[in-house]
């Protein structure tokens, strides 16, 4: 790193704060600006010092880390890294939703911590390898559930026509396949498009591609 990266450490355990300070001060390009022992103190300190990176514990007294992240999110150039022992996806999503740019575990190595700092400083999001896989699974399940909600609005016939349209069949071919009139196919297709909020065949194809990417098959 060419420029010094100013860091604030927020953790309610003195040994953790001192340990992190010792680790970071041994790294080139890092300047530890200050330390806080609770969320409220962290907010005050960061507003005053305007650090580049904040290492924020999530479980702290007076004001939680998530609350502190919410208050600091979007202020200046600050990048907030949640530094915690919690590995559950709910904690990860809470921190990221609050405005954290990354999530690092307290079991991480010094090299990983430095990688996390470099990653968020470059404008990217960092997730600890030990949790990224599980977080991806939860995210995928949520996306699939969202896709299912849209499909649930369709009748069985509309869903069947959607399947055939996405397979590349024309209205006449679908009518012959389902033994119904072309006008009936057109009516069901129009209703299906309205329910899905789609206005063109191109949007319909994109919708079908999204379903396949999420692992949803009709």
**Residue of 44, 42, 36 lying closest to 20 (CA atoms):** 36
Report how far residue 93's alpha carbon sits from residue 198's, in angstroms, rounded to the nearest whole number: 30
pLDDT per residue over 98-136, tens digit each?
999 999 999 999 999 999 999 999 999 998 887 877 666
Does residue 35 register a pLDDT over 50?
yes
Helices marked H in 60-170:
65-72, 89-98, 110-121, 129-152, 156-166
What confidence category does residue 54 fall into, taking pLDDT thresholds of 50, 70 and 90?
Answer: very high
pLDDT attached to residue 1: 41
Q: pTM for the whole thing?
A: 0.63
* 3-class SS of residue 163: helix
Report how far residue 67's alpha carbon sits from residue 36's, in angstroms, rounded to the nearest whole number: 14
Calculate Rg over the CA atoms of the chain: 25
Report how far residue 82's alpha carbon sits from residue 64's, in angstroms, rounded to the nearest whole number: 12
pLDDT per residue over 177-200, tens digit each?
899 999 999 999 999 999 988 888
pLDDT per residue over 128-138, tens digit each?
887 877 666 66
**Residue of 102, 57, 61 lying closest to 78 (CA atoms):** 102
Report how far residue 53's alpha carbon sits from residue 6's, in angstroms, rounded to the nearest whole number: 6
CA–CA distances in Å: residue 133 to residues 88, 129, 137:
11, 7, 6
Calculate the average pLDDT of the chain: 88
Does residue 15 register a pLDDT over 80?
yes
**Mean predicted confidence (pLDDT) in 192-213:** 86
Domains in the chain with CATH codes: 5-134 (3.40.50.2300), 153-213 (1.10.10.10)
What confidence category does residue 43 fall into, taking pLDDT thresholds of 50, 70 and 90?
Answer: very high
Q: Are 216 and 147 in contact (CB under 8 A)?
A: yes
What confidence category does residue 16 fall into, taking pLDDT thresholds of 50, 70 and 90?
Answer: very high
In sequence order, which residues have a C-beta less than 8 Å from that of residue 141 and are 6 or more positions away? none
């Amino acid at each position: 790193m060419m420029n010094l990266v100013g860091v604030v450490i927020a953790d309610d355990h003195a040994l953790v704060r001192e340990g992190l300070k010792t680790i970071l001060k041994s790294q080139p390009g890092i300047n530890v600006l200050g330390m806080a022992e609770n969320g409220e103190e962290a907010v005050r300190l960061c507003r005053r010092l305007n650090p580049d990176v904040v290492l924020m514990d999530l479980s702290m007294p007076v004001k939680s880390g998530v609350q502190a992240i919410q208050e600091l999110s979007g202020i200046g150039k600050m990048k907030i890294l949640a530094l915690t022992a919690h590995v559950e996806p709910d904690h990860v999503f809470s921190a990221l939703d609050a405005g954290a740019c990354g999530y690092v575990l307290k079991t991480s190595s010094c090299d990983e911590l430095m990688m996390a700092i470099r990653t968020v400083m470059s404008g990217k999001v960092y997730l600890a390898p030990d949790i990224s896989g599980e977080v991806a699974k939860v995210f995928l399940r949520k996306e699939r559930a969202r896709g299912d909600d849209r499909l649930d609005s369709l009748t069985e016939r509309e869903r069947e026509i959607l399947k055939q349209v996405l397979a590349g069949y024309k209205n006449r071919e679908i009518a012959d396949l389902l033994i119904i009139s072309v006008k009936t196919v057109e009516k069901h297709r129009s209703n299906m498009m309205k329910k899905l909020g789609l206005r063109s065949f191109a949007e319909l194809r994109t919708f079908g591609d999204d379903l396949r990417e999420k692992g949803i098959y009709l």
